[in-house]
Structure 1
Amino acid sequence: MSTTIYSHTATRNSGEQESLDAYKGKVLLIVNTASKCGFTYQYEGLEALYKQFKDKGFSVLAFPCDQFGHQEPGDDEQIAGFCSGSFGVTFPLFKKTEVNGDNAHPLYVTLKNEAPGILGTKKIKWNFTKFLVDAQGHVVKRYGPTTKPEAIASDIEACLN
C-alpha cells in the first residue's frame, strides 16, 4: 500500500482544478455515479453517510461517469442540478469522468490498481462502484454497485478511529 491518491488532481463540477492533496487526513468514499441508473437512489445513502461523518473527517467524492449504458447523458451543470435537486447532495461533485479505458482518469487507474475487483479484475463493471480511502490516502477496500452506502458505515467508522 505505497501509492496514495494525493498525487492526483481532478476537476470539480464547477470547472476548477483541485488537488486531492486537499483531502489529506480525511477518510474518503470515492464513487463513480450516474443520474439514470438503477442504483441512482444510492445518492441518498451517500449524502446520509456524508452528513453522519463529515464533522469527524470524512467526505464522499462523486465522479459522474457515462461509460455504462449511457446513464449519465447530461452536462456537468445538469448533473449538479439533478444531484442537489433530487437528492440534496452537498458532498463534492467532480466533472464527468472516464473510469475505464485509454482515457481513464489517473485517479481511477490508482484506485483500480490498489483495490482490484473480484478475481483480481481491475476494470470497473458498473456505476456506483465505491472505493474507501483511509486518512493517509491509501485505498482500503472496493465495494461493488450493489453494496448500499449504509452497509459501509462500520468500515468508515473503523477508518476514522
Structure 2
Amino acid sequence: MTTDATPSTPSPLDIEIGALTGGSAGLPQYAGKAVLIVNVASKCGLTPQYAGLERLQERYAAQGFTVLGVPCNQFLGQEPGTAEEIAEFCSATYGVSFPMTEKVDVNGEDRHALYERLVGFADAEGHTGDIRWNFEKFLIGRDGGVVARFSPQTEPESAELVAAVEAQLAG
C-alpha cells in the first residue's frame, strides 16, 4: 500500500469521464469521500467480485464511500457489451447499485486520463504501471489522493481492503 503524501498531486477525481448511461460521471461529486475505482468486466473469471463490491457499497455508502466501476474490454475481450448490456448484466446478475463509467481503455496509447493518474501508484507488492487484469482496484482517500492499490485477485471483502476502506472512513 502506498500513500500519496503530495498535496499538489492532482486528484483522479478531477478527471472528466462519461457515465455508463450517458452524460458525465461527475467525479468531483465524490470529493471528500473514499472511492474504490475498479476496472470491471462481465465475462471474466473474476466477475463474481461484483457481489463483494456491491456488499462494500451497501455496507459503507452511508459513511461516505462509493465503489466506481470502470468497464474495460482490453483483457481478452471480456467486456464486449454495449453500455445498455453492461448495465443490464450488472443489475440483473449482481444487483449493482454503485455508479459505473463509460467503457474505456486502462492501458496503452488510448489509456483514459483517469488511469494515467492511477497507474503510477504501487500496490503492496510494489507493482506500478499498467493494469494487469480486470478488477484491479485503487482506493482514493477523502483528500482525493490515491492511498492504496490492490491486485485483481484481491477480493473486495478481503481483510486488507476492508481495513484500508475503514481507515479512510475513520480519518
TM-score by length of 2: 0.90
- Map 1:2-17; keep pairs closer than 5 Å: 2-17=9-24
In the alignment, is residue 29 of structure 1 matched against residue 36 of structure 2?
A: yes
User: By how many angstroms is 1:119 displaced?
Assistant: 4.6
Q: CA RMSD in A?
A: 1.1
Question: After alignment, is 48-57 or 2-11 more displaced?
Answer: 2-11
Identity within the alignment, %: 44
> What is the match of residue 69 of structure 1?
76
In the alignment, is residue 154 of structure 1 matched against residue 154 of structure 2?
A: no
1:107 to 107, 114, 126: 114
Question: After alignment, is 43-52 or 92-101 more displaced?
Answer: 92-101
Deviations 1:89-122 (A, max 9, x none): 0000111111001111101110112x13555430
TM-score by length of 1: 0.95
In the alignment, is residue 92 of structure 1 matched against residue 124 of structure 2?
A: no
Q: Secondary structure at the match of 1:28?
A: strand
Which one has the bigger strand percentage? 1
Q: Secondary structure at the match of 1:63?
A: strand
Q: Which consecutive residues of structure 1, in runs of 5 or more, have no partner in the other structure?
A: none
* Counterpart AA for 1:137: G
Q: Secondary structure at the match of 1:10?
A: coil
In the alignment, is residue 116 of structure 1 matched against residue 122 of structure 2?
A: yes
* Counterpart AA for 1:155: A
Q: Which consecutive residues of structure 2, in runs of 5 or more, have no partner in the other structure?
A: none
* Counterpart AA for 1:153: V
In the TM superposition, structure 1's runs of 4+ consecutive aligned residues that sit over 3 Å from their partners are: 116-121
- Map 1:124-135; keep pairs closer than 5 Å: 124-135=131-142
Equivalent pair of 2:13/2:31 in contact (CA under 8 Å): yes
Which one has the bigger helix percentage? 1
User: By how many angstroms is 1:19 displaced?
Assistant: 3.1
